[in-house]
Amino acid sequence: MSHEVYASFYSCLQPRLKVFAVKVGHSERTLARAKELLSNLQLEDVFSTRSLSRRKALTLESEINTDLLRIANSGGSGEFHLYPLPQFSKVYKSIRSYFPEVINHQPNASLVSVSSMGLDYPSTRFPEAKALKKNYV
């Protein structure tokens, strides 16, 4: 079965905290897994790459999480990372470096039903960090 590696970005529902979160994982059900996070965060964007073997998906997931841990250690799960907003561009650049130029991107992902996953979300280039960051401020 085809696996995906995903990086989901979350805005904080308490704007005065000025943080954002990233969860990196692998799944055959990307959006459903991205929505399973229970916290004071709202899912905003999901980026993924498809058609990987399970082994390749696990390797890529591990490499991304290791790199994100170098930027900041949230003290929580190895797949969930919490950062101050000033680190958004650095984190986003790191995530982009692990994915191909054309990726699957679901903006406003919290508004998309998991049952609609039969519909592919669009393949596109990564948006510019500046344009994307406005959703997290």
Q: How do residues 10-38 score in pLDDT, each as one tens digit? A: 998 888 889 999 988 888 878 777 777 65
Tokens of 133: 């960051």
Number of H helices, E strands in the chain: 4, 6
pTM: 0.73
DSSP assignment letter at 66: H
Q: Is the dihedral of CA 81, 98, 94, 73 positive or negative?
A: positive
Give the tens place of pLDDT for each residue, 99-137. 988 888 888 888 877 765 545 667 889 999 998 888 887
